[in-house]
Amino acid sequence: MKLSPWMMRAAAVAALLLAAGGLYWSLNERPQAPAVTYTLLDGSRHSSADWAGKVVLVNFWATSCSSCVAEMPELKATYQRFKTRGFDTVAVAMSYDPPAYVSQFAQSRQLPFGVAIDNTGEVAKSFGKVQLTPTTFVIDKKGRIVSRYVGPPDFAALHQQIERLLSEG
Protein backbone atom coordinates (compact mmCIF):
# COMPACT_ATOMS: atom_id res chain seq x y z
CA MET A 1 0.00 0.00 0.00
CA LYS A 2 1.40 3.36 -0.99
CA LEU A 3 0.89 6.19 1.49
CA SER A 4 -0.30 9.55 0.22
CA PRO A 5 1.80 12.64 1.03
CA TRP A 6 -0.92 13.69 3.48
CA MET A 7 -0.75 10.34 5.32
CA MET A 8 3.06 10.54 5.47
CA ARG A 9 2.88 14.06 6.99
CA ALA A 10 0.24 12.91 9.47
CA ALA A 11 2.45 9.97 10.50
CA ALA A 12 5.45 12.30 10.92
CA VAL A 13 3.43 14.69 13.08
CA ALA A 14 2.13 11.79 15.19
CA ALA A 15 5.68 10.47 15.67
CA LEU A 16 6.86 13.94 16.69
CA LEU A 17 4.02 14.29 19.19
CA LEU A 18 4.78 10.86 20.67
CA ALA A 19 8.46 11.74 20.99
CA ALA A 20 7.55 15.08 22.58
CA GLY A 21 5.31 13.26 25.07
CA GLY A 22 8.16 10.94 26.05
CA LEU A 23 10.49 13.93 26.38
CA TYR A 24 7.92 15.74 28.54
CA TRP A 25 7.79 12.83 30.95
CA SER A 26 11.57 12.50 31.04
CA LEU A 27 12.04 16.23 31.75
CA ASN A 28 9.22 16.59 34.24
CA GLU A 29 7.97 14.58 37.14
CA ARG A 30 6.58 11.21 36.14
CA PRO A 31 2.78 11.10 36.41
CA GLN A 32 1.27 8.62 38.85
CA ALA A 33 -0.38 5.58 37.27
CA PRO A 34 -4.13 5.52 37.82
CA ALA A 35 -5.70 3.42 40.55
CA VAL A 36 -7.50 0.61 38.73
CA THR A 37 -9.04 -2.75 39.52
CA TYR A 38 -9.31 -5.56 37.00
CA THR A 39 -10.20 -9.23 36.73
CA LEU A 40 -7.85 -11.73 35.11
CA LEU A 41 -9.03 -14.57 32.90
CA ASP A 42 -8.68 -16.96 35.85
CA GLY A 43 -11.32 -14.90 37.71
CA SER A 44 -8.93 -13.40 40.26
CA ARG A 45 -9.40 -9.71 41.09
CA HIS A 46 -6.41 -7.41 41.21
CA SER A 47 -5.60 -3.72 41.45
CA SER A 48 -2.79 -1.38 40.61
CA ALA A 49 -1.91 -1.44 44.33
CA ASP A 50 -0.49 -4.92 43.62
CA TRP A 51 2.18 -3.26 41.47
CA ALA A 52 3.91 -1.49 44.38
CA GLY A 53 7.66 -2.10 44.33
CA LYS A 54 7.59 -3.65 40.84
CA VAL A 55 8.30 -2.43 37.34
CA VAL A 56 5.11 -3.14 35.40
CA LEU A 57 4.27 -3.18 31.72
CA VAL A 58 0.56 -2.61 31.00
CA ASN A 59 -0.35 -3.47 27.43
CA PHE A 60 -3.74 -2.58 25.92
CA TRP A 61 -4.46 -4.88 23.00
CA ALA A 62 -7.11 -6.69 20.98
CA THR A 63 -7.25 -10.04 19.22
CA SER A 64 -8.38 -8.21 16.05
CA CYS A 65 -5.26 -5.98 16.08
CA SER A 66 -2.55 -7.44 13.82
CA SER A 67 0.21 -5.35 15.47
CA CYS A 68 -0.93 -6.59 18.88
CA VAL A 69 -0.82 -10.21 17.77
CA ALA A 70 2.59 -9.68 16.15
CA GLU A 71 4.12 -8.14 19.29
CA MET A 72 2.85 -10.80 21.73
CA PRO A 73 5.87 -13.11 21.33
CA GLU A 74 8.13 -10.15 22.21
CA LEU A 75 5.98 -9.25 25.22
CA LYS A 76 6.11 -12.86 26.32
CA ALA A 77 9.92 -12.96 25.94
CA THR A 78 10.26 -9.65 27.81
CA TYR A 79 8.20 -10.98 30.69
CA GLN A 80 10.21 -14.22 30.81
CA ARG A 81 13.49 -12.29 30.78
CA PHE A 82 12.68 -9.98 33.70
CA LYS A 83 9.97 -11.71 35.78
CA THR A 84 12.35 -13.00 38.48
CA ARG A 85 13.69 -9.49 39.10
CA GLY A 86 10.51 -7.68 40.15
CA PHE A 87 8.94 -7.16 36.74
CA ASP A 88 5.34 -7.91 35.85
CA THR A 89 3.12 -7.62 32.79
CA VAL A 90 -0.63 -7.18 32.49
CA ALA A 91 -2.23 -7.49 29.07
CA VAL A 92 -5.57 -5.66 29.07
CA ALA A 93 -7.93 -6.69 26.27
CA MET A 94 -10.11 -3.87 25.03
CA SER A 95 -13.82 -3.79 25.89
CA TYR A 96 -14.88 -4.60 22.31
CA ASP A 97 -12.84 -7.80 22.20
CA PRO A 98 -15.05 -10.90 22.67
CA PRO A 99 -14.01 -12.62 25.94
CA ALA A 100 -14.01 -16.05 24.25
CA TYR A 101 -11.50 -14.79 21.65
CA VAL A 102 -9.26 -13.31 24.36
CA SER A 103 -9.36 -16.50 26.40
CA GLN A 104 -8.64 -18.69 23.35
CA PHE A 105 -5.77 -16.42 22.28
CA ALA A 106 -4.16 -16.40 25.74
CA GLN A 107 -4.51 -20.16 26.05
CA SER A 108 -3.26 -21.03 22.55
CA ARG A 109 -0.25 -18.67 22.87
CA GLN A 110 0.41 -19.81 26.46
CA LEU A 111 0.70 -16.24 27.69
CA PRO A 112 2.60 -16.44 30.99
CA PHE A 113 1.42 -13.09 32.38
CA GLY A 114 -1.91 -11.79 33.60
CA VAL A 115 -4.55 -11.19 30.95
CA ALA A 116 -7.52 -9.01 31.83
CA ILE A 117 -10.63 -8.12 29.86
CA ASP A 118 -11.66 -4.49 30.26
CA ASN A 119 -15.39 -5.24 29.89
CA THR A 120 -16.54 -1.75 30.84
CA GLY A 121 -13.67 0.20 29.27
CA GLU A 122 -12.89 1.76 32.66
CA VAL A 123 -9.25 0.62 32.76
CA ALA A 124 -8.56 2.09 29.29
CA LYS A 125 -10.38 5.27 30.30
CA SER A 126 -8.33 5.56 33.49
CA PHE A 127 -5.11 5.42 31.49
CA GLY A 128 -6.11 8.44 29.42
CA LYS A 129 -8.90 7.11 27.23
CA VAL A 130 -6.77 4.54 25.43
CA GLN A 131 -8.38 3.81 22.07
CA LEU A 132 -5.55 2.74 19.77
CA THR A 133 -3.99 -0.69 20.09
CA PRO A 134 -1.44 -1.65 20.96
CA THR A 135 -0.80 0.99 23.62
CA THR A 136 1.76 0.09 26.25
CA PHE A 137 2.66 1.81 29.51
CA VAL A 138 5.78 1.22 31.59
CA ILE A 139 5.35 1.91 35.29
CA ASP A 140 8.22 2.25 37.76
CA LYS A 141 8.52 0.79 41.27
CA LYS A 142 6.92 3.92 42.74
CA GLY A 143 3.82 3.55 40.59
CA ARG A 144 4.67 6.33 38.16
CA ILE A 145 4.20 6.15 34.40
CA VAL A 146 7.61 6.30 32.76
CA SER A 147 6.67 5.63 29.13
CA ARG A 148 3.69 5.33 26.84
CA TYR A 149 4.07 3.59 23.51
CA VAL A 150 1.37 3.75 20.85
CA GLY A 151 2.16 0.94 18.45
CA PRO A 152 4.77 -1.73 19.06
CA PRO A 153 7.73 -0.46 21.09
CA ASP A 154 11.38 -0.74 20.12
CA PHE A 155 12.00 -3.82 22.26
CA ALA A 156 15.78 -3.32 22.56
CA ALA A 157 15.20 0.19 23.95
CA LEU A 158 12.36 -1.11 26.13
CA HIS A 159 14.64 -3.77 27.62
CA GLN A 160 17.27 -1.13 28.41
CA GLN A 161 14.63 0.98 30.10
CA ILE A 162 13.38 -1.97 32.16
CA GLU A 163 16.96 -2.78 33.21
CA ARG A 164 17.42 0.83 34.34
CA LEU A 165 14.12 0.90 36.22
CA LEU A 166 14.80 -2.43 37.95
CA SER A 167 18.11 -1.06 39.24
CA GLU A 168 16.47 2.07 40.71
CA GLY A 169 15.89 2.09 44.44
Three-class SS string for 126-158?
A: HCCCCCCCCEEEEECCCCEEEEEEECCCCHHHH
- Ranking 8-22, 24-38, 39-53 by mean pLDDT, the lowest is 8-22
Residue 121, domain CATH: 3.40.30.10
- Please tell me whether residues 52 and 118 are part of one structural domain: yes
Cβ atoms of 137 and 33 within 8 Å: the answer is: yes
- Please tell me whether residues 21 and 47 are part of one structural domain: no
- Please tell me whether residues 95 and 139 are part of one structural domain: yes
- Please tell me whether residues 81 and 9 are part of one structural domain: no
pTM exceeds 0.85: no
Question: What are the Cα distances from residue 34, in Å, to 25, 101, 124, 169?
Answer: 16, 27, 10, 21
Q: Alpha-carbon distance 51 to 142, whole Å? A: 9
Domain that holds residue 162: 31-167
User: Who contacts 60 (Cβ-Cβ below 8 Å, separation ≥6)?
Assistant: 92, 94, 118, 123, 124, 127, 130, 133, 134, 135, 136
- Please tell me whether residues 25 and 40 are part of one structural domain: no
- Please tell me whether residues 21 and 48 are part of one structural domain: no
Neighbours of 33 (CB within 10 A): 21
Cβ atoms of 133 and 94 within 8 Å: the answer is: yes
Q: Could you read off the pLDDT of 119-150 as tens digits, one per residue?
A: 999 999 999 999 999 999 999 999 999 999 99
Closest CA to 67 of 128, 150, 124: 150
- Please tell me whether residues 22 and 78 are part of one structural domain: no
> How many domains are there within the chain?
2
- Please tell me whether residues 2 and 80 are part of one structural domain: no
- Please tell me whether residues 21 and 97 are part of one structural domain: no
Task: Place 41 in a pLDDT band, splitting at 50, 70 and 90.
Answer: very high
- Residue spans of beta strands (DSSP E) within 7-118: 37-39, 45-47, 55-61, 87-93, 114-117
- Please tell me whether residues 72 and 128 are part of one structural domain: yes
- Please tell me whether residues 23 and 60 are part of one structural domain: no
- Please tell me whether residues 117 and 70 are part of one structural domain: yes
Q: Is the pLDDT of residue 101 over 70?
A: yes
